[in-house]
Amino acid sequence: MQFWSNITRIASKIKEKCLSLIKPPDPLQGLKEQLQDINQMEDQYQEIKNKLDELSLESQETANLQNEDKEISKESENYQIAIKQVYSTLTKKQREFYKLLTEEEYNKVLAALKTPQYSRLKPGVWLNDEIINNFTKLLDFENGTVILNSFQFDLLIKADDNKFKRISQKAKIDQNTKQILAPFNQNNVHWYTFQIDFEQSVITIYDSMKRSNYSQLFNNLVEMAERIKNQEYELKVANCPQQSNSHDCGVFTLKNIWILSKYPQAKLQVYYDQSTIFYDRILICNSLLQQKI
């Protein structure tokens, strides 16, 4: 009797142990599997949506580029027509400083004008020192001509003898220098040109918005010129092309320097006026893009 009692007790414990090891079925398992399938489908949907958005964005960008190309092409056509009309009226002397661009060059210029680097060359915009100095770098120094950038003049007039000598050497100013040309920035609001002609002993200011008082600038120019060649200098304010607005002074300044670098005694009115300035903006941009005049 004791034997069977023990067997029953052992069997009961084994049954309890077995039952504890058996995990009861989860009544929510089916729902969990469905939810997992739904999550996977949502992930797939989001992935497909992202790809479609990317394709849509690329398609829109392509359309924008195509529209921009059409606009540039139309602008190019309009510029070419306007410039050809101006070019047809130019004299032989004037055409030395103007040329007709190719369609490819026009397109590159008009695309460049839409960028921050060249946007100041668009009509109606004031030129900064970056445009001014980068263009003057491209001019050939002919016949003993030295072209200073917009910063070197200020450095020279403030320099002691040793520093003056170093800056002069760097700018290639020596006893063989025949003339110095430079853009001058007046209080960050106006550009004009000065010329020191050592052969003629003349210091000249070319201002496209001519005014009456240049005494301080002349004093500084005379002081600088005498440190290079100690001689008497005549002071002049030249009759030169005048601008009819408040934003083209930088273009006039570059045009003056370009012409005077080739012809120091040039009468500038012979070569250009306000009517050609939009043409000059295009040519300046083209020169900067090609890194040559």
Q: Which residue has the tokens 């060249």?
A: 118
pLDDT tens by residue, 39-94 = 676 677 677 777 767 766 666 666 665 666 666 566 667 778 888 888 999 999 99
| Domain residue ranges in the chain | 69-290
pLDDT per residue of the chain (293 residues) written in tens, 0 to 9: 565 566 667 666 666 665 555 555 556 666 666 666 666 766 776 777 777 677 666 666 666 656 666 665 666 677 788 888 889 999 999 999 999 899 899 889 999 999 999 999 999 999 999 999 999 999 977 679 999 999 999 999 999 999 999 999 999 999 999 999 999 999 899 999 999 999 999 999 999 998 878 999 999 999 999 999 999 999 999 999 999 999 999 999 999 999 999 999 999 999 999 999 999 999 999 999 999 98
Structure tokens given for 55? 């394709």
Looking at residue 55, what is its pLDDT? Answer: 67
Looking at residue 50, what is its pLDDT? Answer: 75
C-alpha–C-alpha distance, residues 112 and 69, integer Å = 12
3-state secondary structure of 192: strand
Looking at residue 166, what is its pLDDT? Answer: 95
Contact residues for 90 (Cβ-Cβ < 8 A; gap 6+)? 98, 276
- Name the CATH superfamily for 69-290: Adenoviral Proteinase; Chain A (3.40.395.10)
Looking at residue 168, what is its pLDDT? Answer: 94
Contact residues for 150 (Cβ-Cβ < 8 A; gap 6+)? 129, 132, 133, 182, 183, 184, 185
Query: What's the predicted TM-score (pTM) here?
Result: 0.75
Q: What percentage of residues in the chain have a pLDDT greater than 70? A: 76
| Number of Cβ within a 10 Å radius of residue 215 | 9
| Number of Cβ within a 10 Å radius of residue 189 | 9
